[in-house]
Amino acid sequence: MNGYKTEILEANTVPGGLCAAWDRGPYVFDGCLRWLVGTHPSSAFHRIWSELGALAGRKIVDHDEFLRIEGLDGQVLSLSSDLDQLARDCKRIAPEDSALVDNLVRAARRCAPLDPPEKPLELMSGLEKMKLLVRCFPMLLTIARWKNREFGAYLAACRNPFLREALIAVAGDARMSALALVMVLGWRSRKNAGYVAGGSRAFAQAMAGRYARLGGVLRYETQVASVLVENDRATGLRCADGRVVPASTVVSCADGRTTIFNLLEGRYVGKRIRCAYNQWEVFPGLFQASLGVNRIFPEAPRAVNLPLSPPLKVDGATKHDRLEAAFFGSDSGLCPAGKTIIIVRFSGRYEHWADLRQHQPADYAQAKQRLLQEIIGILDRRFERVARHLEQADLATPATFARFTGNWQGSIQGWLPTPAILGRRLPRTLPGLKDFYMAGHWVEPGGGLPSAALSGKYVAQMICARDGKVFAATEP
């Protein structure tokens, strides 16, 4: 868009990295998209997706009920995107927590309009920073109050056990900042977190198509082995097959640890970067069980969080008392009419599964099959005829995600947004190295597709500023 001749070196056979899907018979199992921040036209992220061609006029689905929580004693809580309805439903099951619910809803409503800056802080003038402060001022106190509170500590004030379970199901990890829960509810209320029909594959392919039409070159099956450096200036890349690709500027959107400590041999590491990779917590490794079922489930919600008794044992250190299942019908664009895809995701220890795969492959395969059969049994007991009509099934482990994408510890979103980390940014340049930039979720704590795209736009702006160009972004 800004007059540069660019190439993308992609290790895999398809674009997208972690934004990926795979075929199993007539089913497309999606390993990424469940909902996307930036689906409302007023959102800054929507402008980014439009510039990248990612949405490409595809249908956006917003569900009034974004998650249903079930309890062992028959209790059910429907979580609504409408904050007023959400408050009523939560107070109905937990009247003793009315004040807590009101505070949460008030914070979500106040933070719902929050959007990222149009340019990175490094490029902002003093006046621009002042305008940003004025725009965000009504939210600042709320953001500070919730950001610095660990979600587990916030939950300790919740007196109703079932409401506590429901809230942890939305946030996902008790170590995270409580602001993460506030923002999820705010995005939902603004209809800014919808599902993009066609899922991850169509999403990534749309961006690759837009890039190609702009004149970009995308090289597939091109694994990078090292970054070439002369006089502390990045000059290109050496590929695994020995080919050299010269460049005036190099941008890494790959795994941060691999980039810094392998491709650059750890030669350009400052205190902030070393501290992050030694001390910061990452999102735990992810499992995904994917089922293709030859029937529809009209009675099933879009997503449901189920109680487990006994718990699901993943490995020696991990067990889960709850499991969340998402249902995708033909309207998702992932399977034919009359069929359903069920996706179940849960966490586990990367080290255990990576070691098992490397040193005991037969045991690894058996452990995967045992877990998959347990999950099929759980779903079959809750929803009739899952097992009887099951046509396709597979299980991806943290070792699977690491093998296909190289992400450190199999972490699909990078740094965990704890109170100590959320809001902090790793530098997009490395100390002492010129003409080299980093983008992606390893420089944007919180991770996910929106922050990866945002960091890419910021880097493009920084390159233009370096070269004295006025950055311009266009839409197709």
Q: Where residue 445 falls among pLDDT bands split at 50, 70, 90?
A: confident
Considering the chain, what percentage of its residues have pLDDT values greater than 90?
91
pLDDT at 145 over 90: yes
pLDDT tens per residue across span 195-229: 999 999 999 999 999 999 999 999 999 999 999 99
Taking the C-alpha atoms of residue 25 and residue 474, their distance in angstroms, rounded to an integer, is 38
Mean pLDDT of 440-452: 90
Q: How confident is the model at residue 392 (pLDDT cuts 50, 70, 90)?
A: very high
Model confidence band, residue 464 (pLDDT cutoffs 50, 70, 90): very high
Q: What is the mean pLDDT of residues 25-29?
A: 97
User: DSSP secondary structure string, 343-356?
Assistant: EEEEEE-HHHHHHH
Tokens of 372: 């998959």
Average of per-residue pLDDT across 450-474 = 96
Residue pair 316/352 in contact by the 8 Å Cβ criterion: yes
Distance of CA 133 to the CA centre of its chain: 27
Confidence check: pLDDT of 446 > 90:
no
Backbone angles phi, psi at 454, to 5 degrees: -60, -45
List pLDDT tens digits, range 289-308: 999 999 999 999 999 999 99
What confidence tier does 255 reach under pLDDT thresholds 50, 70, 90?
A: very high
Strands (E), 334-435: 340-348, 390-396
Confidence of residue 36 (pLDDT cuts 50, 70, 90): very high
What's the pLDDT band for 458 if we cut at 50, 70, 90? very high
Bridge partners for 219 per DSSP: 9
- Give the mean pLDDT of 311-337: 94
361: burial class by Cβ within 10 Å (0-12, 13-18, 19+)? exposed
Helix, strand, or coil here: 136?
helix
pLDDT of 398 higher than 90: yes
Please give the model's pTM, rounded to 2 decimal places: 0.94
Q: Domains for the chain: give ranges and CATH numbers.
A: 7-36+49-55+197-281+414-466 (3.50.50.60), 84-187 (no CATH), 285-409 (no CATH)
